Amino acid sequence: MPRAFTPGVFCGFDAIASGVQSRPMKPTDLAFDTVRAVLWDGTSLKLLDQRRLPRETVYLDIPDAKAAADAIREMVVRGAPAIGITAAYGVVLAARRLPADTPDWLDVLGPDLERLAASRPTAVNLFWALARMKAVIGQGGADLPARLEAEARRIHEDDLADNRRMGELGAALMDPAEAVLTHCNTGSLATGGYGTALGVIRSAYGQQRIRKVYADETRPWLQGARLTAWELVQDGIPVDLICEGAAASLMRTGKIGWVVVGADRIAANGDTANKIGTYALAVLARHHGVRFMVVAPTSTIDMDTPDGAGIPIEERPVSEVLSLAGQPVAAEGAGAWNPAFDVTPAALIDAIVTEKGVVERPDRAKMTALMK
């Protein structure tokens, strides 16, 4: 089980307290926020193996960039912000293995950058973080590993600060309601801490704007069942799990004030790619008069992609659909289609919440204004 926060320490774990510092913490920051998935202590990277939750809480040592890329690809770590943070530390680990007098850092580190970039295609935060690290590499110098570490720490630190800001902005949109519905996992497990959509939910619960959370199972990896429910239980926030197929009936009861989700990539017009099943929730929410909120940092916004049609959608192995925990669940000989993400049109989104502000009823002009 994660240990409790130490007041004044940015991430709350001794393993990273020495390296990742921020503003002094407020007492309210300590509530409903006890989970961390990415730990950096200045010398090593540890990742909470999310494939083994909720049965086991196990941190894996990540020794190099290849192991970081493998961890991203194999779902040890997932969630767009956490993937970007992990990749940044992966670059640090790669640089530390090289001699200080390496003549051309960019050429030598190129294969590691490519390996990390290929690990997941949809999460734009991955490429954003690698671009920041590449810019530092381009400056060269014997002290490059130290400067890369400082940049990775900054990415990690800024993510948590941004999440707290988004939590405040998103909660402010909510009128008191019995509950919200969320999909997949968008909390501390998916970020540097606090979470995007779950950050809003944490803030709303702390302000008594909601009394409980409903979480979709999120098939086929069951992130809602294994991760979101686990994370909320750790923080004492009431959560009920539902099958995806129950969402329409739940909305019909009038209990749900908002659907609150994250994003792995947001196009220039506000179309949003998120875990498969998000689009269906947006359609159901519009039909039932339930408002739909997307919460993501601006690093998730890809202004070079005009609309959702241009977002690459990762297709994962069909075995994830045809089996569960290694046991077949489908008729032998059946095929499967397993896209990991879908695209929700901007027209179905009531608000996109970022650390820079809120875009209501998003369109291209509003997204352009935000990013300026």
159, pLDDT greater than 50: yes
Which residue, among 257, 283, 268, 275, has the nearest Cα to 362 in the 3D structure?
A: 268
Rounded to an integer, what distance in angstroms lies between the CA atom of residue 283 and that of residue 267? 19
Q: What is the pLDDT of residues 239-278, one digit of tens each?
A: 999 999 999 999 999 999 999 999 999 999 999 999 999 9
79, pLDDT greater than 90: no
140, pLDDT greater than 50: yes
Mean pLDDT value of segment 210-218: 97
For 39, the 3-state DSSP assignment is: strand
70, pLDDT greater than 60: yes
Please identify, among 145, 162, 179, the residue that sits at the C-terminal boundary of a domain: 162
Task: Phi first, then psi: give them for residue 288, nearest 5 degrees.
Answer: -95, 5
Question: Do 177 and 158 share a structural domain?
Answer: no
20, pLDDT greater than 70: no
Q: Is 264 known to be catalytic?
A: yes
Which residue, among 78, 80, 108, has the nearest Cα to 96 in the 3D structure?
A: 108
Task: Phi first, then psi: give them for residue 326, nearest 5 degrees.
Answer: 85, -5
12, pLDDT greater than 80: no
β 45-48/59-62 pair status: antiparallel
Question: Do 343 and 271 share a structural domain?
Answer: yes
Question: Do 222 and 106 share a structural domain?
Answer: no
Residue 30: predicted pLDDT? 52
How would residue 19 be classed by pLDDT, with cut points 50, 70 and 90?
A: very low
Residue 142: predicted pLDDT? 85
Question: Do 228 and 357 share a structural domain?
Answer: yes
Which is higher by pLDDT, 87 or 10? 87
Mean pLDDT value of segment 72-101: 94
Rounded to an integer, what distance in angstroms lies between the CA atom of residue 279 and that of residue 283? 6
Question: Do 258 and 240 share a structural domain?
Answer: yes
Q: What is the pLDDT of residues 306-333, one digit of tens each?
A: 999 999 999 999 999 999 888 999 999 9
200, pLDDT greater than 80: yes
Q: What is the pLDDT of residues 350-362, one digit of tens each?
A: 999 999 999 999 9
CATH number assigned to the domain comprising residue 251: 3.40.50.10470
Question: Do 135 and 223 share a structural domain?
Answer: no
Rounded to an integer, what distance in angstroms lies between the CA atom of residue 249 and that of residue 47? 37
Percent of the chain with pLDDT over 70: 92
Q: What is the pTM of this model?
A: 0.84
Residue 29: predicted pLDDT? 47
Residue 324: predicted pLDDT? 87
The strand pairing partners of 360, in sequence order, are 351
Cα Rg of the chain, angstroms: 20
Task: Calculate the average pLDDT of the chain.
Answer: 90
Question: Do 225 and 132 share a structural domain?
Answer: no
Residue 280: predicted pLDDT? 98
Task: Phi first, then psi: give them for residue 250, nearest 5 degrees.
Answer: -65, -45
Q: Per the structure block, which two tokens stand in for 320?
A: 């994830």
13, pLDDT greater than 80: no
Exposure string of 28-67, with b = 16+ CB inside 10 Å and e = fewer, is ebebbbbbbbbbbeeeebbbbbbeebeeeeeeeebeebbb
23, pLDDT greater than 50: no
Question: Do 283 and 214 share a structural domain?
Answer: yes
Question: Do 284 and 212 share a structural domain?
Answer: yes
Question: Do 285 and 344 share a structural domain?
Answer: yes
In a domain, 4, yes or no: no
Which is higher by pLDDT, 8 or 236? 236
Residue 315: predicted pLDDT? 94
Task: Phi first, then psi: give them for residue 30, nearest 5 degrees.
Answer: -80, -15
Residue 121: predicted pLDDT? 83
Instruction: Identify the H or E element spanning 145.
Output: helix 144-172
Instruction: Identify the H or E element spanning 140.
Output: none
Mean pLDDT value of segment 127-156: 95
Preceding omega of 63 cis (within 30 degrees of 0): no
Mean pLDDT value of segment 64-85: 94
CATH number assigned to the domain comprising residue 156: 1.20.120.420
Active-site entry in 33, 49, 216, 264: 264
Q: Which domain holds residue 206?
A: 166-371
Which is higher by pLDDT, 4 or 9? 4
189, pLDDT greater than 80: yes
